[in-house]
Amino acid sequence: MDEPNIGRDERREALRGLARINRASRVAQRIWQSITIDSDVRQLTMLDVASGGGDVAIALAQLVRRDNVRLDIVLLDRDADGLALAAAEAQRAGIVIRTIVADALAQPWPDGPFDLVTCSLFLHHLTKEQTIALLKRMAEAAQGLVIISDLRRSIMGWLLARVGTRILSRSPIVHHDGPISVRAAWTVYELKKMAVAAGMENAGVRRCWPWRMMLTWQRDDKGQ
């Protein structure tokens, strides 16, 4: 997915394949289940970092709409074509989003803070130092909650990626990247240690089906 010589059609097919995999993994549902809000709240702001095709954020907006909550979404990614695909999908779904083309590690983020800052399937692309830096930026941007969903390194996860990517996507890019991404992913223990190094001592990291993990961090009343 990161190779510059990949054509637009191939990249879009890969993004659609990832969207199907995220739906099968119920990522948006797990994020919504992790959010606790007051019953009188009817609007939340959200920044989705390294959003790709924006499928998780759009699916989450559709879920919260069923509970009469409006989600104001900002998608940030360095891939302008992926953001254009997200904008088209959001329009079809009747979801209003704002897109920003920027490198999540190297360029400024939009002014916050945001009620919710999320990131899906990105950490396994990063080094330890880059992951800690990203976690710090997400914590700084969040006035409420940080939620990260990513792959979890394991033999079973690798085997599932080998099979599942071929069932859920026709994209050879997804077939190639899936198993490699699992091998490059972090463990629960490693992600927890990096969260502590980023100043997110109260972060929770739990295993999720299918061989994924989810980090949640809530800013407390003292500003942590």
- Residue percentage of the chain with pLDDT more than 70: 94
Q: Is 197's pLDDT higher than 50?
A: yes
The class of domain 8-218 in CATH terms is: alpha beta
The per-residue pLDDT for range 57-78, each reduced to its tens digit, is: 999 999 999 889 999 999 999 9
Q: How confident is the model at residue 176 (pLDDT cuts 50, 70, 90)?
A: confident
- Residue percentage of the chain with pLDDT more than 90: 71
Indicate the domain borders of the chain.
8-218
pLDDT at 13: 87
* Cα diameter, the chain: 49
pLDDT at 5: 60
pLDDT at 2: 56
d(CA 110, CA 128): 24
H-helix segments, the chain: 8-24, 27-33, 55-66, 80-93, 128-141, 155-168, 172-184, 188-197
Q: Is 222's pLDDT higher than 50?
A: no
Give the three-class secondary structure for 95.
coil
Q: Cα angle at 93 between 88 and 98, to 5 degrees? A: 55
Q: Is 4's pLDDT higher than 70?
A: no
